[in-house]
Amino acid sequence: MRIIDRIQAVISEYIVQKGYEATGWIVEIPKDKKIADYATNISFKLSATLKLSPMIIADQITPEIVKIFEEKMSGAFEIFALRGFINFKLKSNYCFEYIGNDGFSLKLVESNKKVLLEYVSANPTGPLHIGHGRWAAMGDTLKRILVHVGYDVDTEFYINDAGNQIANLLLSIEARRNNLPLPEDGYAGEYVKDLVKEADPIQAVLLQQTDILRKFKVTFDRWFSEKKELHENGFVNSAVSVMKEKGLTYEQEGALFFRSTDFGDDKDRVLIKADGSYTYFAADIAYHKNKVDRGYNHLINIWGADHHGYIKRVKAALFSLFGDKVELEVLLGQLVSLFRNGEEVRMSKRTGEMITLEEVIEDIGCDAGRFFLVSKQADTALDFDLELAKKQTSDNPVFYVQYAHARICSILNTSQIKAELDEDIVVEEIEHSLMRYLVHFEDELMIAVQNREPHRIATYLMELANMFHSFYHQCKVISDDKKLSANRLAIISAIKKVLATGLDLLGVSAPEKM
């Protein structure tokens, strides 16, 4: 249980025991962490029923709360009232013990859900672009943090290797081979020239995508082929049959409709077109049913924001088949607008104007690319200027964090003194602040998990690195004073653990030297 939850529990018990009535109170992390690490607004919420001002209430109950915490969490905090809030300030020794020798034991979630996280899922009709890179970085980091706190999660890439886009690409290649004009809406991109030589162009594109994702340190537990595993083996057909049997469909004007309006959609959707072929939607229902058939009961999809209109109907379909036994969560990532020297580059596989993910990674590197892409909230449209990114490579925030880690390694290597923390020897304010901030890693991680916001890890690491660098310039770690040195070595080794863990969750390396 996190510290914040334990505080909540203890105060909750106290409220009940005293017979107070209060609702809506919380334990929170103050914006200004200089004041305290945790604070509760309980006095504000009691003020209505007790008819006293929050300050007075806080002053009265704080001594009692101090006493209870002496019993339940001895030595953990300094507790004091300030402007109506009751504040909890962590003590350094407690922090050090809490972090422990192996870092946190961050098994924060008990879940019997089997999660399938699906992301990227690009058409194999061309190179991946920077937007795919964003979903890739986000999805991979999300998987890492979910697993880290105890979820059972597999990842999957859905290969859209059936349908018109594929046919269209093949026609374009065929046209090129025979020196014929491109079909209307054909693919004009440069990369198509290279595909002309390939016996199996689709497979070639797919391999290229796999390869670049691997370079980006993004791997999947499974690559799922729409063509092979849904169409060729008749799975779409059987899924649609199930829907028919359940009375979820009707025929009209030669087409088969799904009654999705019965499940919250805006209009009924076609499953089988009048010409007898399946819609993309039908295949997608089959795909999601397939996931459930394979034993997953919590599906998470990361989609580009341009697909948001599609969510309702997929949820409708899944609900019509499985009710609330299966949860579908769709995370939308806003698109990435690419700029080159301040001018927007409109990307299109068809027209061929594009900057690929591969180019970006080669220009700025995997670590910098991942950190940049995952450090921004996903539902904000992102502007990415390639020239700027190249120019700023050396002051990319990722190096700031990595540098902190390398610096620590360097110091640790030059000393053989055993790290040991003694609260009384922690002299500087920044040292206390650092120890306290380390404990908040669990809080940031949980918020990141709960809100599906991996960017919070990056923000946290920036802040931690900032505090460390500041500490480094204020405090000499290794000195003639053995006890002081041992103390500071303990502090920096704790920082190192958290930095390394955090960077790993982002899929970014933690170098020992830079």
What minimum distance in Å lies between the beta carbon of 80 and RNA?
Answer: 9
Closer of 154 and 386 to RNA (Cβ): 386
Regarding 341 and contact with RNA (CB under 7 A), the answer is no
Regarding 508 and contact with RNA (CB under 7 A), the answer is no
What minimum distance in Å lies between the beta carbon of 32 and RNA?
Answer: 6
What minimum distance in Å lies between the beta carbon of 102 and RNA?
Answer: 23
Regarding 308 and contact with RNA (CB under 7 A), the answer is yes
Tell which residue, 31, 60, 68, 444, has the closest CA to residue 42. Answer: 60
Question: How far apart (Å, rounded) are the C-alpha atoms in residues 373 and 382?
Answer: 9
Regarding 456 and contact with RNA (CB under 7 A), the answer is yes
Q: Which residue type occupies 25?
A: W
Closer of 352 and 397 to RNA (Cβ): 397
Among residues 432, 455, 496, 497, the one that binds RNA under rule CB under 7 A: 455
Tell which residue, 90, 61, 96, has the closest CA to residue 75. Answer: 90
Closer of 16 and 514 to RNA (Cβ): 514
Among residues 196, 207, 305, 427, the one that binds RNA under rule CB under 7 A: 305
User: What secondary structure does DSSP assign to 429-491, as a single string?
Assistant: HHHHHHHHHHHTHHHHHHHHHHTT-THHHHHHHHHHHHHHHHHHHH--SS-S-HHHHHHHHHH
Kindly state the tokens that stand for 250: 């009707």
Question: How far apart (Å, rounded) are the C-alpha atoms in residues 307 and 314?
Answer: 11
Regarding 73 and contact with RNA (CB under 7 A), the answer is no
Report the site for RNA in 478-507 (rule: CB under 7 A).
478
Among residues 2, 10, 20, 35, the one that binds RNA under rule CB under 7 A: 35
Closer of 12 and 392 to RNA (Cβ): 392
The 3-class SS string of 208-229 reads HHHHHHHHCCCCCCEEEEHHHH
Regarding 118 and contact with RNA (CB under 7 A), the answer is no
Regarding 20 and contact with RNA (CB under 7 A), the answer is no
What minimum distance in Å lies between the beta carbon of 179 and RNA?
Answer: 27
Report the site for RNA in 243-282 (rule: CB under 7 A).
252-255, 266, 269-270, 273-275, 277, 279-281
Q: Which residue type occupies 474?
A: Q
Regarding 453 and contact with RNA (CB under 7 A), the answer is yes
Binding region for RNA (CB under 7 A) out of 174-182, 202-210, 321-329, 459-467: 459-467
Report the site for RNA in 374-393 (rule: CB under 7 A).
375-377, 379-383, 392
What minimum distance in Å lies between the beta carbon of 43 and RNA?
Answer: 9
Regarding 32 and contact with RNA (CB under 7 A), the answer is yes
**Pairing state of beta strands 255-258 and 298-304?**
unpaired
Regarding 164 and contact with RNA (CB under 7 A), the answer is yes
Tell which residue, 202, 193, 114, 96, has the closest CA to residue 155. Answer: 114
What minimum distance in Å lies between the beta carbon of 152 and RNA?
Answer: 24
Among residues 153, 212, 426, 477, the one that binds RNA under rule CB under 7 A: 477
Tell which residue, 341, 347, 410, 335, has the closest CA to residue 376. Answer: 335
Regarding 288 and contact with RNA (CB under 7 A), the answer is no
Binding region for RNA (CB under 7 A) out of 6-14, 79-87, 209-217, 502-510: 79-87
Regarding 92 and contact with RNA (CB under 7 A), the answer is no
What minimum distance in Å lies between the beta carbon of 45 and RNA?
Answer: 6
Closer of 131 and 154 to RNA (Cβ): 131
- Identify the H or E element spanning 330: strand 327-333
What minimum distance in Å lies between the beta carbon of 325 and RNA?
Answer: 25
Instruction: State the number of binding residues for RNA (CB under 7 A).
Output: 86
Regarding 41 and contact with RNA (CB under 7 A), the answer is yes
What minimum distance in Å lies between the beta carbon of 509 and RNA?
Answer: 12
Cα-trace Rg, the chain: 28
Residue ranges of alpha helices (H) inside 159-200 are 164-177, 191-195
Regarding 427 and contact with RNA (CB under 7 A), the answer is no
Regarding 410 and contact with RNA (CB under 7 A), the answer is yes
Question: How far apart (Å, rounded) are the C-alpha atoms in residues 493 and 474?
Answer: 17
Q: Is the dihedral of CA 116, 119, 123, 128 positive or negative?
A: negative
Contact 409, 378 (CB under 8 A): no
Q: Which residue has the tokens 């940031």?
A: 444
Question: How far apart (Å, rounded) are the C-alpha atoms in residues 320 and 316?
Answer: 6
Could you tell me how far CA 508 lies from the centroid of its own chain?
14
Kindly state the tokens that stand for 454: 């991996």
Report the site for RNA in 179-238 (rule: CB under 7 A).
none
